[in-house]
Every structure is written in structure tokens, then in C-alpha cells.
Structure 1
């Protein structure tokens, strides 16, 4: 039992019901929060009003943002990689939530552009690290005819009697080189500006693209320099949400890369792709917890300022009920996000089941929070004078980004069923 001599006001941190942080954790949080407030929000607002071509043009505020982000050391790959798993489980969600609170499009631009460099560092190969470890890149996953199906690399959700879609990019092995042909979808994050790409693609090693007698494809994971002959790009994508995040098509015409740039082949490529998706989904949950928190905070401020019926609208019980519901949803999203970080960095993790659980729940919840918060603004919420319509647009994109939520849920329940069948000693 607890004992109160008197009832005090709650002590709340930047992240609401925040238990004690270490001195280092609080310093990191405050540093990233300042960056998010002073750099990300103003630049994100400017970029949101610009055309996709203006966003990537020379002199765009996006370039200023990326320069300031790199100079800040917030995502210093060497420093982050040197942390213990326990430190990562606590500090990563702090960083990602603050970045999402600042601007989700810029947050995703930062993280997506770092995937090839991060992957290069995990190889431990000095030559690979030298070539890819410090350049902005992209994660080349989706293709025009192969969208969210890309998360089903092992073909466990392919319709009976069907086969995986080969998609629009093919790779074939020729001697000590890989030859790449085709095009990505227009949804490649940071694709218009990336200098490198991390891609997991169907591959013909000499016996065809499909595994003999199966529904599945042969795969390869390759790091691709995008300054190679045969690489070209389409127009940057015009979209409703996360407009500060440039996305666009990349085309490959007999692009040749050395065998050494293939970091994973066959079944190992499937494992590497799932590992990347596991981290990306976990990161998405923390980032969009920040978006939900931003929507809640704007609504909380507004209902104390806006007067209707002769009083600030916070004094109306219907508004009080809705504000508390927003608070609950943000806290629930954060709790699940943190639980998954703890699991994935524990002896039991990481696993895609954990990450899709948080990604799908948090992004669905964030869209609900943003929509309900906008409702409290009334007509003002629909105008660009207030931040709510942007937050709702940004949140909506996240329900498709890094795997459409329904497809991710199917992968999750597949793992749940497999776990249960193994535990129960049955097969259905």
C-alpha cells in the first residue's frame, strides 16, 4: 500500500509517466528534444509546404537539416553500436520518440538514409565500411508489382497453388559480379538523394529465380553504390503525408556490382531482411509514439486556450473525457513500444513478432490520436495555421510505411500459430 500525507500534483516527464532516468539518459533526452524543437519542427513545417522537387533541390532546408543532424552526433553509429543491449533498449526509444515528436518525415529520412551505412558497419569488413559506412543511402525494398508482399520473403503467406511475385527488379549472378535490372517503387525513402542502397532482391544464381519445387524465390542482399553506370531516378513522389521525407523511383539498367557487395545470399538474405524489418518496425513504433504525443500536447494546450460556452473548453466534461482518452492512448502506445525494445534486446529477442506487434498497434493508435485531437480543434484543425492536419497526414502514412499493417499482422499471427503448434506438439 501507499501512504500519502497530502495529495500532490503528478510529476510528469517529457514522456508522461516517466520513471527515473539516469543522468546520461536525461541528458540525451534533453539534447534530442532541443534539436527536435529548434531544428526539426521549423524545418519540417517549411518542407511540408514545398513541392517534392523543391524539397530535394539545391538550397532546400532539407540539406540544412541533414547537415545539422550529422553535426549533432545524435545518431553517431559508432557510439550507438558500442552501447550495451540494456543501454540500447532504454536509450533508442528515447531518441526515436523525440525525433518523431519533432517531425516524423525528417525522422524517417534520417533513419532510412542510415540503413546502408549501419548495415556496412555490421559486416565488420573494412573495405565495405570504407565504401558504404559514411554515405547517405536508402533501403530499397518495395517495387511497383511487389509492395507489402516484400515482408513475406519466406512465402509463408502465399496463396495455395500460387507463387511469390518476382517483382520488377531482378538480379543475376555472372562470374564474380551481380547484374541488376529493373525499377523500384516510388516509395523508396530518401531514394531521390541517396548515394547508396541496401536492397534484398530476387536472384538467379544460374538455376532460375524460383527455388525448385517451392513457391518461394531465391534472394540476395546487396549494397549498391548509386553512382554506377546504369542507375537513374524518377521524379520525387508527391504524397499527402511526411512530405519532408523525399521518396522516389530508382532504375537499374545492367548495373554491375562486385560479388563482395553481396552481404547475404539465399536463406541468409531472408534472415538479414527480417532482421532489418525487425529493427525498422521497432523504431517506427517509438517514432510514432512521438507523433501521438505531439498531437496530444497540441490538443491539451488548445483546450485550455479556446473558449466556447463562456469558458475554456477544457471545463466541458465531453472535452475532459476526450483529452483523457488521448492521454491513455499515448501512454499505452509508449508502454508497448518500450516493452518491445526490452524484449528485442533481451536474451529472448529479437523477433519480428515483437516488432510488428508494436508497429501496427502504435501507428494505428497514433492515427486515432491525431484524428481525435484534430476534432477538438473543430474547423481550426483543418487549416494549415494549426499543426493538427499535418500530424494526421503524417500519421496516416505510417499505417502503410515499412509494411502495411494488415500484412504485418498476418506475419505476426503466423509466428503466433507456429509457436503454439510447437508448444502443443500439434500440426494443423
Structure 2
């Protein structure tokens, strides 16, 4: 008797929404708002529709108007930046709300939330994202003091890069340093003494929300009884109304002009030791943790930015006529749109996949978060560039939205670690020491 199981073909009706025989004679499927998205949980779908409507009605017009202002005007009293912040707060997206969602839904919620915010306006999306950082990371590190001492309504920021230390600030274990390289003098140092943390120095002009922030999660070198060691730094929660804190002017920049960025200075700022979130012995873990979260967030935001550029180009290709037909009828335009859509899908897929892995694994994979950030930001620049090209001369004018999207996307290749450094750092994280041949 032959015991080999025979694989029977599944019944036709198990495939797709309709049996093959009832397909249209000329089959064609229109993808949804999020592309080739499988059915979502009702709760996730409700959040998606709410945030999408907010991004469309609130973020896009405000982001467009803020883009045309000076950096000082953006943060001034009466600026629409504050209207955005009030409207976003009314959505109730805070740590308490996020903690109420079923854990299995969190990867989808995180990825869709930041994609929709990025679709609305990348600069405002990042402002909203870094707002969460002090309390979000305090929760990750199991610190209850921050929640008891400081309300979530405070505007948050993340201070890590310094005037003399950019992406290398994210390389706490020195994995990518040249053998003859030296970190040099830290620009900001936290002196840790019995019961106190005393901070001196400055953070660079690239602190997102820096000019308006009220609470910072600060990453800096630490001074202990053994001296100053930037590789054994400290993570400190700093209320920015503390005595000795001051701020520089908001930064004028090419893209993401709705996102206030600027220097923060610390002149012997003294805090109780309760504000120390991560001690020097755990500093590498602290950098690893926040960088994993930040790079995943960037993946979501710039998937949304790329999608916005693609959608504008797609609509324009149906409206604009050349040679007597809509330009989408021209083969090169159709081909270009295909590759733009493909890149958006790839960015979305890798961001969702990485977010799911990192939220369900015992420890997040930083190199995977870097996959998401590098892929989504590079694709956002390429898609936005193609959109500008498709709009032709109109694409480089301020009357059309794609030139702003191109500028916003260009900045992203440097934010949260420039992509070249992330690729090198990510490569070192992929080394398997068990496969290396011992050197003589």
C-alpha cells in the first residue's frame, strides 16, 4: 500500500475574492490607499482613517504654509505650528493610549500612524514623533519617575548630536572608527556625583523640536570618578526650564521647514539623580534602544513622504496632456510610475516587517531598523525626484507640492544618522564572530 500523501489542488473558490471563472475578461485590480494591503483589524483601520483625515485636512495645509515662513516665524506666537500641536493633541495619541492597544496590533499601529503623518507633512510628523521620546523611552527603560514628575503634554525632544560629533554619536561602541581615529573632546558632559547630575556644554542645531521643547531626553558623555568617557555616557531627562538651560536660534534649512530645530546649551545644569535614565555602564544599551526606535519611525514617516509624491505624480499623469493624450499614456511615464509605486510598496513592507520583528523579538535588531530607515529615505528621495521630473517645469515651482516633498526627502538621508554611516554601522552588527577565522 502506498502511504505517500497526494497533494490535492485546493478548490478554486478558496483563491481570491471571486472564483477565476468569474474574473473580468480584461482583469485589473485597483490597489487601495495603502497599496497591496491585506484586510486590517477594525481598530487599526479606524485609527488609519482618523489619522489620514487629520493629515489631509490639518497637516498638509499647515505644513505648506509653514514651509514658506522663516524659522523664527514658524515658532512665533500665533504661528499655525501651535494650531497643529493643539489639533494633534486632540487625537489623544500618547503613551496611555498606545498602552491600551492589544500588543499584537502595535506593529501595524506604529507603522501606519507614522506613514500617515509622513504623508501629511514629514517635518510635522517628526515633530510629533520626537515629542513622545522622553516618556516613550522612560517606559522602555522601566522608569516611573518621569511619568510622575513630568506630564506627557510637555513638548519633547531628543538631544544627541553635537557640533563636533554628528553620526558618530550613534556609534557608542566605536565599531566604525578608524584604527587611528579618536572621538575627540565631547561638547556636552554630564558629571555624575552622589545624588546629583550636573550638565555642561551644548547640543547641535539639529535637535528636532529643540527651539520649542520643554523636556529633553539627553544623550551625552559622562564624567565619573574615573574621568570623562564618551563611550560610557549618560542618558538624562532634562526639564528645559531648568536654571542654566538656554537655546540658540531656530535653524534655517532646505527641507522640513515646519520642524523647528536648534541648539540647546547647558551651563552647570544641576538635577537630582532621579533624572538619570541610563547610567554609564548601560550607555551602549541606551543608544542601541533609542536608535532602533528612531530608525523605524523614520522608515514609516518617509514611506508616507514617498507615497505622497507618488500620488501627486499619479494624479498629474492623468490630468496633464502632451501629444494629445494624458501623459500616462506615454510608455516612459507609465514605466516610471510603476517603479515609483514599487518603491513605496517596498518601503512600506520593510518598515512593517522590521517593526513587527522588533516589537515581538526579545531584543530589537538595530541593523533591521537601519534597513527600514535607509530604504525608505532613499526611496523617498528617488520617488520625489521622479515626481518633480514628471511635473516638468511645474515641478520646480512653489505652486506645486512636489518640490517641497523633494526638499523634505533630501534632508532625511542625513537625519538620525546619515545613510552611509548607518550602512557601515549596520554592517558591523551583521558580523558573526563564530564564523571568523582566529588570527594568528
Measure, in 2, the Cα distance between the counterparts of 1:37 and 1:194: 25
Match of 1:188? 207
Q: Which residue of 2 aligns with 1:243?
A: 257
Q: Distance in 2 between matches of 1:265 and 1:4?
A: 65
1:322 aligns with 2:336: yes
1:105 to 109, 123, 136: 123
Measure how far apart 1:200 and its partner are: 1.3
CA contact (8 A) 1:166 1:217 kept: no
* Structure 1 residue 168: Cα displacement: 0.8
Structure showing greater Rg: 2
Pick from 11, 22, 31 the counterpart of residue 5 of structure 1. Answer: 22
Q: Within 5 Å, which residues of 2 pair with 1:60-71? A: 60-71=79-90
In structure 1, distance between residues paired with 2:204 and 2:398 = 30
Aligned-partner SS, 1:209: strand
Please show how residues 18-417 of structure 1 align to structure 2 within 5 Å.
Answer: 18-73=37-92, 75-134=93-152, 135-210=154-229, 217-347=231-361, 349-417=363-431
Residues 209 and 217, structure 1, Cα contact 8 Å, conserved in 2: no
Q: Is the alpha carbon distance of 1:227 and 1:313 closer, same or farther for their aligned partners in structure 2, counting shifts above 3 Å?
A: same
The answer to whether the 8 Å contact 1:285/1:337 transfers is yes
Count of matched residue pairs: 419
Q: Which runs of 5+ in 1 are unaligned?
A: 211-215
Give the whole-Å Cα distance in 1 for the aligned partners of 2:139 and 2:359: 19
Task: Decide which moves more: 340-349 or 314-323.
Answer: 340-349
Structure 2 CA distance for aligned equivalents of residues 126 and 279 of structure 1:
20
| CA spacing shift, 1:4–1:283, aligned 2, 3 Å | farther
- Structure 2 Cα separation of the partners of residues 298 and 57 of structure 1: 31
Q: CA deviation at 1:373?
A: 1.1
Query: Conserved in 2, the CA contact under 8 Å of 1:171 and 1:180?
Result: yes
Residue 269 of structure 1: how far off its partner (Å): 2.1
How well do the aligned residues superpose, as a CA RMSD in angstroms? Answer: 1.6
Distance between the aligned counterparts of 2:130 and 2:332, measured in 1?
A: 41
Distance 2:243 2:187 in 1: 19
Q: C-alpha displacement at 1:165, in angstroms?
A: 3.2
Q: Distance in 2 between matches of 1:126 and 1:332?
A: 38
* CA distance in structure 1 between the aligned counterparts of 2:233 and 2:21, rounded to whole angstroms: 61
After TM superposition, where is structure 1 displaced by more than 6 Å over at least 4 residues in a row? none
Unpaired segments ≥5 residues, structure 2: 1-11
Please tell me whether the aligned partners of residues 231 and 284 of structure 2 are also in contact (alpha carbons under 8 angstroms).
Answer: no
Aligned counterparts of 1:31 and 1:313: Cα–Cα separation in 2: 33
Normalized against structure 2, the TM-score is what? 0.92
What is the aligned partner in structure 2 of residue 213 from structure 1?
A: none
- Give the Cα separation in 1 of the matches to 2:423 and 2:331: 36
1:207 Cα deviation after fit: 1.3
Displacement of 1:277: 0.7
Alpha-carbon displacement from aligned partner over 1:71-110 (angstroms, at most 9, x marks no partner): 111x221121243442111211111110000000000001
> Following TM superposition, by how much is the alpha carbon of 1:272 offset from its aligned partner in structure 2, in angstroms?
1.5
Q: TM-score, normalised by structure 1?
A: 0.94
Tell me how far 1:427 sits from its aligned partner: 4.5
Worse overlay, 309-318 or 116-125: 116-125
Tell me: CA distance 1:427–1:41, structure 2 relative to 1, closer, same or farther (3 Å).
Answer: farther
Maintained 8 Å contact 2:94/2:132 = no
- The CA deviation at 1:14 is 1.2
